[in-house]
Structure 1
């Protein structure tokens, strides 16, 4: 039997299981080819099917189900890679700082970092929150927009203005 997006939209668990069986392996190898990490590939597949079920009501009956599944997987894969990059960048910065044994330099760096954090604290509450979510926690504009119930364009404007304001404050 061939199931459609409409079947899943209606909560048909048999349809969901069949789609899972049809696409699990294909999604895994598609993702693995792009990320070269079996952990990220498996995580992407699992999150794809979780999101597919959680957001089943928003599936389009006009778009082939396979196309929608791969679109969800691609989005999740990009989010996971972005978060992994941010995590590795921060971990690398921390280990770099620990390896260095120059107290004077570390003191200057610490003072500069404190100055940056003070400037961030001087941003308006909403702008500060959006900036932290984006730059410090690695959220995407879309994730921030959904979490705060604002448009992605508003998120982008907050970040641009925050960066501009921080640059201006740090130049003084």
Structure 2
């Protein structure tokens, strides 16, 4: 066993490949059993072997390669779990912030929508009909004129006057929603 560790310390690729073949699956299932996560098991195994090779000069001939490899894997697994926990806390905080933002935004939108609807209802009946057919139904002026038996120019005048009336009764930011 000491010779395999020494071979890896010396940079012998063949010995490293042999250790990889021998311990890859064992290490994977050990980490999988600890984390219950295939992703974490795969990441831990790959990073462990990378670290084993990169830090090979620091290996000890006093311990078997499996002992050192599993020690590296435990350290890598702890780091990955810690990072995942931090990531989860950040995501939870973002979700909480987003939920409260959505609630505040929903309330503001409902209030603005109420103001808009209320202002539209304050329009004269014909102007209100022309405005709703134009803005809510998306009908062209000619079609509105045909449906209401008025001229297209009258439709245009009603829309212009409705917008002017709404502009005077609503804050500017709500008016942008109408256009």
The correspondence of residues 9-88 of structure 1 with structure 2, limited to 5 A, is 9-88=9-88
CA distance in 2 between partners of 1:30 and 1:55 (Å): 22
Provide the rounded CA distance (Å) in 1 between the counterparts of 2:25 and 2:64: 18
Partner SS for 1:50: helix
TM-score, normalised to structure 2, is 0.55
CA distance in 1, matches of 2:96, 2:78: 27
- Residue 108 of structure 1 aligns with which residue? none
For structure 2, which runs of at least 5 residues remain unmatched after alignment? 106-179
Deviation at 1:2, TM superposition (A): 8.9
State the distance in 1 between where 2:50 and 2:77 align: 14
In structure 1, how many angstroms separate the alpha carbons of the residues matched to 2:3 and 2:57? Answer: 15
For 1:46 and 1:25, the matched residues in 2 are separated by 11
In 2: Cα distance, 1:3 partner to 1:40 partner = 31
Cα-to-partner distance string for 1:9-42 (whole Å, 9 max, x where unaligned): 0000000000000100000000000100000000
- State the 1:4 CA deviation: 1.7
Runs of 4+ residues over 6 Å off in structure 1: none
Of structures 1 and 2, the larger Rg is shown by 2
Unaligned runs of 5+ in 1: 104-172
TM-score, normalised to structure 1, is 0.57
Q: 1-side partners of 2:89 and 2:3: how far apart?
A: 43
Give the match's secondary structure for 1:47: helix
SS of residue in 2 equivalent to 1:63: coil
Report 1:146-161 matches (<5 A).
Answer: none
Whole-Å separation in 2 of the counterparts to 1:58 and 1:2 = 14
Q: Measure how far apart 1:85 and its partner are.
A: 0.4
